[in-house]
Structure 1
Amino acid sequence: MYTLFYYPRNASLAPHFVLKALNVPYQLELVDRKKLMQKSAQYVQMNPTGRIPTLVDDDFILFESAAICLYLCEKHPNGHLIPTEPQAKAEFYQWLMYLTTTLQNELMVYYYPERHTQSAIMYDDIVNTQQSRIRECLELLNRYIGEKVYMVNEQFTVCDCYMFMLCIWADELKNPPLSFKNLNRYLKGLAKHPAIKAVCDNEQTDLCAYK
């Protein structure tokens, strides 16, 4: 059985969606960020980055959210969470990389400005700059989504899991994802997916805004 070390609304959310969508046996192990348990000696021995999530599969340990998602999908190909046709698969990787290396990175800078300057007076400037940078990312995604139901190949994939996670993170911005017409429709559709609904209920993440 898989064990996912997680904390609600953290980067463990996408792998949690994937586990639920694959309908495989798993258990959750809470890593209490409020007590900085992700920095504890016991946890760091398992995950040297001191970050969440971590996946344990028997004696195999894996960290980094996207890597966990891909590992699970490749172990369970019948779940069809990664396209198989070459061009659709390439497009899948393109958008997954964009979400992980661009949008997620911009959100991390927004939420943790203190990690990017030694001067506290710069925090507000960084946050304001990030609002603009994230808006540009969301504008691009809004154009791409258009009338699509899912991000790639008209099938529910890891990209949708990752997208929903990041959009939840971005819901407090001046221009949140739901303020964009196409993203609003797309995200409200995803919120009805059984895996999304079940996991958000489990992690006590309110989806009222997505109704």
Structure 2
Amino acid sequence: MIRLYYYPDNASFAPHILLRETGLAHELMLVDREARAQKSAEYLRLNPAGRIPTLVEGDTVVFETPAVCIHIAEADPAGRFLPAPGDPLRPRFFQWMAYLNNTLQAEFMIWAYPQDHTTDPQGVAAIQAAQEARLTDILALLDRALGAGPYLLGERLTACDPFLFMLATWCAGLPRPPMAFPNLARFLRLMAQRPAVRDASAIEGIDLSAYL
């Protein structure tokens, strides 16, 4: 049995969707961020980074969202969500997982929490403005990549797509949000129709009405 330590509308949302896509037996373990439970001694024994999500399966403990998603995809008996070794799509899969984590999510977090990236309170607005320009370029690149769609790897849904869906919903508050890009908008609407996305969103209290 897989246990996913999660918090609603957090970085655990993508693995939660993927667990429902695979149909793997799992249990959701709520980590109360409001009470900073992710920094508790008990949780830190599982995840010394003190962040969400963490996946536990037997003696295996995995943290960091892309690693958790890859682990789930590898556990899928049908091998649907991760191209197999030798598949020409496999390098592109890892390319996009890395790009989503290291570029889109990293740049978004600076925009969302600019005060954590300066010691000068007067510089917060400038940091956000710079990040808005960066994020617009990143979203434009992803929009072009989805042009052959409907998913990041073309016709095949992979673990990259729940990750992109999660991050794109986070970006809804940008001056030029993902819904302003035609291919990203199509992707978001398509993903929002999937039963796994709807079920995970209902459990986590995430409103999908903007994409339906």
Give the structure-1-normalised TM-score. 0.96
Contact conserved, 2:146 with 2:154, CA < 8 A, in 1?
no
Paired with 1:124 and 1:63, the residues of 2 have a C-alpha distance of 32
Question: Is 1:21–1:79's contact at 8 Å kept on the other side of the alignment?
Answer: no
Structure 1 letter corresponding to 2:68: I
Q: Give 4+ residue runs of structure 1 displaced > 6 Å after superposition.
A: none
**Percent of pairs identical after alignment?**
41
Other-structure match for 2:33: 33
Cα distance between partner residues in 2 of 1:172 and 1:10: 16
User: How far 1:18 moved relative to its partner?
Assistant: 1.1
Contact 1:88 1:153 in 2 (8 A): no
Q: CA deviation at 1:189?
A: 0.8
Q: TM-score with structure 2 length normalisation?
A: 0.95
Match of 2:187 in 1: 186
CA shift, 1:105, in A, is 0.4
The residue number in structure 2 matching 1:91 is: 92
Q: Give secondary structure in 2 for the equivalent of 1:29.
A: strand
Residues 165-200 of structure 1 show CA distances to partners (whole Å, capped at 9, x for unaligned) of: 100110111111011111111110111112111111
* Cα distance in 2, alignment partners of residues 140 and 198 from structure 1: 29
Between the two proteins, the alignment pairs up a number of residues equal to: 211
CA drift of 1:77 comes to 4.4
Task: Check whether the contact 1:147–1:182 (CA below 8 A) recurs between aligned residues.
Answer: no
Question: Which amino acid is the alignment partner of residue 41 of structure 2?
Answer: A
Match of 2:44 in 1: 44
**Does the 8 Å CA contact 1:103/1:137 hold for their aligned counterparts?**
yes
Shift in Å, 1:96: 1.2
- Alpha-carbon offset, residue 59 of structure 1: 2.3
Q: Is the 8 A contact 2:148 2:154 kept in 1?
A: no
1:120-177, Cα deviation, whole Å (9 max, x unpaired): 1111111111111111100111112115111104111111111001001101111110
List gaps (5 residues or longer) in structure 2: none
Match of 2:161 in 1: 160
Q: Is the 8 A contact 2:111 2:131 kept in 1?
A: yes
Unaligned runs of 5+ in 1: none
Root mean square deviation, CA, Å: 1.2
The question of 1:175 aligning with 2:170 is answered: no
